Structure 1
Amino acid sequence: MTSHENYTVFRECLSSAIVARSEKPKTKRRTKVKRNGRKEVTVASSEVVTTERANPEELAEFIDFIASETFTSFPEDLQTISYAAVQHDSNLAQTYVPPDKDTPLEPAVLESICSVTPVEVIDSLFVYGLMADRADFSEFISPVLSEFISSMTSAPPVWATTRTDACEICDRDWIPLSYHHLIPRGVHAKVLKKGWHDEWMLNSVAWLCRACHSFVHRMATNEELAREWFTVDRIMEREDVRDWAKWVSRVRWKAT
């Protein structure tokens, strides 16, 4: 993961917290009136609770500001934290990854993060009415950080759960798909011996139609696929793949 991708995840976590706190309940008293001849008699009254929501465009700009200012104040290792990173650095894992997702960060770690948060962020959250007091920032940001770290450090999904509805190269969704080992099984031993990838990456797959699957294996050897073309994004960087995808996406089954 890059810090840009991590920022996107952090922004979503922060957005959920801000949106939840920005929806303020608003109470109105509703009175029922019954006419009795020429007189109006009050027969009942009740309270109606509605939700008052902020202007969505203004809220989006506010979230962008808070997310950007907060994220860029994080330590570099937190900005770029990932599953792979904590597998290689036990200190990183010990610092940021709690034993389970419901356990908050250690108070000392949380304090160190909050201490470098720009004052403008804390003031804005307070003025916007999202915190009762400026001293509540650590309470506000703690669950956001926990959700962000949990998302970034979770193990990759089992390949079967990654199945897509369309081919990941040509986007055709009306033909059968098969899974392509992004790091071909025939070179797994060499990959580990050479240290090209971590063991947990070996079973990464892409879901491809038969035509695109065959094309990928024609474009490079198994060793080249393992070393250079081990993600769909990398494969799609190639001009020959993009040209192929553009052409094959127009190929449809003939009527039978």
Structure 2
Amino acid sequence: METSEDANFQVFRDCLSNPMIEKSSQQPAKKTRKARVRRKTAINPVEATIEEPNDAEELSEFIDYLALEVFSNLPATLRTLTYSAWLNTPSLQLLYSDPLSPAQIASILDPLPPTITDSLTTYSILARNQTTNEFLTPILATYLTALLTPALKPSAQRPLVTECEICQRSWVPLTFHHLIPRGVHEKVLKRGWHTEDQLNNVAWLCRACHSFVHRVASLEELAKEWYTVEKLMEREDVRRFGEWVGKVRWKAK
């Protein structure tokens, strides 16, 4: 039976994976290297193809390792936190406000072992002059917000969707994306782009695809041009990102 800690680890790993996936997806694709092999009987060198390692597989393994390393060193109360427990326990509300204060962040991240910084440095994850705490703070904030977000009303509950509607990954937590962003609802109705009954249409996307969609188009563009999953998938950049991120898999805890 899955415990709250198991479920929270999946959420934390998803929050951690997003910035790492974004960074990796923006890097130029590696080209296949060719090595020049000299044979004793050959007059000229012979070219032999050397395949690059599976980048998506390596990334998923590193995300899995790093998530477990960080998560297992978080306070036990944070690893097992649930919205219900937080709502009904004043001491937990004092420990974990949303957003976290600088003092709360320091109390959570400062005790992490130096091996985490070593791993981030070795794999060039940290930006120039960036500290481990600076890298992990937005991830921690996203994780806490996910835990402390009340369950959806029954009318907004997810239908029988088990995988991201862009990358088709079924082993990551899903978030709901407003196909017509709420921030432009008034403008949408005023200009007649959509009717009121269409305003709450949503797509269920993994965190990585959700962030990517908002990165490639403004709220107005999403509302006017890319207001269905089918239309989003007509974009080559969205389709290619979905294909790439769909290869990022990790093992169960």
- TM-score scaled to structure 2, two decimals? 0.49
Task: Name the structure, 1 or 2, with higher relative contact order (CA <8 Å, separation 6+).
Answer: 2
Q: Which has the higher strand share?
A: 1
- TM-score scaled to structure 1, two decimals? 0.48
